[in-house]
Structure 1
Amino acid sequence: MVTKTSSGKNQDRLLTEKELLAMSESDYMDDAQLAFFRDRLQQLEQEILSNADTTTENLRETQFVPDPADRATIEEEHALELRTRDRERKLLKKVQQSLKLIDSGEYGYCEETGEPIGLKRLLARPTATLSLEAQERREMRQKLYGD
């Protein structure tokens, strides 16, 4: 993807994190930044799908183990792997929602306030839909009222 930097130059590569953070506030969620986050989210999506395929293969290769202790260990490993994949399944939905937000031009903005979420927060959690302040308010409400 060809993107423009703030200096107006075309570039044929994605931004690095350092370049992303060095950009001015007026460049927030421009084409180059959206391309950066789209790529990061697509990589995360592929990683999750690959892990799911690996788990499926591992579970298909069940072997008969006569020793009850060994069998229990294998079953516990499978249960742990399934819990991990369940968490990743939920993350996959968030990743796909974030990709739709990029397509609609709403990515990077708080769903409650409309304010920018911020590059540092999005780098740490690319699926974030709330600014740090809005997330803290939501968590405080949940703590106080059990929402």
Structure 2
Amino acid sequence: MTKSRPYDDVPGTTVFDERMSRKGYHLNQFCMSLMKPENRDRFKSDNRGYLDDWKMTEDQKQAVIDRDYNRMLSLGGNIYFLAKIFSCDGLSFQYAASTMTGVSEDEYLKMMLAGGRSPDGNRYKHEWDKSNG
């Protein structure tokens, strides 16, 4: 059984702890392989074929193919490793972060220059259930 952590109750937050590290080990190793030009070339020419060389779950492979960075995070991906994927695609960190937050790149830039997202609202998942009262 997995012990709960205080940060498990923070909405919209994925903490890369030892649990996520174990879960995403092969996904993150795949990402690191993209540091080599020959591996980037293989991946770009046949995403699925290259991914099938890695001991990743089918969900992880599909998240990579879909370029669903939020899903990759939930499956154990570390954002610094995932950066290898969007860099391989010729995309900036800023662009990838905008897709993860659901806004355009320009809106994301403006939000970050203005200090980021507002901290107002529910601070914990348990606050979503008003019956906890």
Q: TM-score, normalised by structure 2?
A: 0.26
**Higher RCO structure (Cα 8 Å, ≥6 apart):** 2
Structure ID, larger Rg: 1
Q: TM-score, normalised by structure 1?
A: 0.25
